Chains A and B, each alone.
Chain A
Amino acid sequence: GESVGLHLPTLSVQEGDNSIINCAYSNSASDYFIWYKQESGKGPQFIIDIRSNMDKRQGQRVTVLLNKTVKHLSLQIAATQPGDSAVYFCAEPPRIKAAGNKLTFGGGTRVLVKP
């Protein structure tokens, strides 16, 4: 069945360094992924998404890479800042469009930025 999972539960990174958060998925037919950021005491917030017809997508200081061969995606944060400290989730909506959008979330990775 479908599942989305993460390799690292916690990532400590020095301020200014780059962060890489990994996510693995099991369904080779998966075609769309979303990254969410959840700051302490807040709800998850959309960061960036990627479709399976792309290998890479860039946003502001964030880049998502998709490797369909090994069913792996990663979120890279450039020049990590204290405000990047949060839990990051990869998520996948169902392939069949429906009124609802049952997101399947990965287990999350906590990023701790050290000053």
Chain B
Amino acid sequence: DTAVSQTPKYLVTQMGNDKSIKCEQNLGHDTMYWYKQDSKKFLKIMFSYNNKELIINETVPNRFSPKSPDKAHLNLHINSLELGDSAVYFCASSQDRRLADPRGEQYFGPGTRLTVT
């Protein structure tokens, strides 16, 4: 009954490889997000989707490509992995703030620790 789930939890791979991280939420939310957390715990948004449509795309290399097959899923594919991609990636979801006046609370998944060697 996990609200936001991610797979895998750990991912160790070599430079140049392509990898994907999957995320699913069962909260019925319309909006999903990907965040990157660096080694100093700094959290920064990468992408956001609303009803399968990309609405936030921060300055992220083209090697990162999110895909949302439906509003409950948001996957992140990374091509040609680099050492600097090593981080913890968090998926999150929230209600659409335009629909009401929700608190803006986002529900985060457990994170995927990506290590590029």
Residues of A bordering B, CB below 8 Å: 32, 34, 38, 41-46, 49, 87, 89, 93, 97-103, 105, 107-108, 110
Chain A nearest CB, measured from B48 CB (Å): 4
Interface residues of B toward A: which range?
20 to 34
Can you give 7 contacting A-B residue pairs, CB < 8 Å?
A34-B103, A43-B110, A44-B43, A49-B105, A93-B97, A99-B55, A103-B106
Tell whether, in the assembled complex, residue B55 and residue A105 are in contact, meaning their CB atoms are under 8 Å apart: no
Q: A43-B110, A107-B41 are in contact. Are A100 and B50 (CB under 8 A)?
A: yes
Q: Which of A41, A45, A98 has the most CB of B within 10 A?
A: A98
Say yes or no: A105-B98 contact (C-beta < 8 A), given A41-B110, A98-B55, A99-B50.
no
Contact code string B3-34 (vs A, CB < 8 Å = 1, else 0): 01000000000000000000000000011010
Query: B91-111: which residues lie under 8 A (CB-CB) from chain A?
Result: 92, 94, 96-98, 103-111
Contacts of A101 in B (CB 8 A): 31, 33, 48, 94, 97, 104, 106
Instruction: List A contacts of B109 (CB < 8 A).
Output: 43
The listed residue (B33, B105, B107) touching A34 by CB distance below 8 A is B105
Closest-CB distance, A53 to chain B (whole angstroms) = 13
Closest to B91 in A: A43
Pairs of residues from A and B, 10 with the lowest C-beta to C-beta distance, nearest first: A43-B108, A99-B50, A100-B48, A93-B104, A105-B43, A97-B97, A100-B55, A108-B41, A100-B56, A46-B105
- With contact pairs A89-B43, A99-B96, A105-B42 given, residues A44 and B90 touching in the complex (Cβ less than 8 Å): yes
Interface centre among A87, A97, A110 (most CB of B within 10 A): A97
**Least CB distance, A98 to chain B, in whole angstroms:** 7
CB-CB nearest in chain A for B108:
A43
Q: CA–CA, A102 to B55, complex, Å? A: 10
Bound form: Cα–Cα A49–B94 in Å: 15
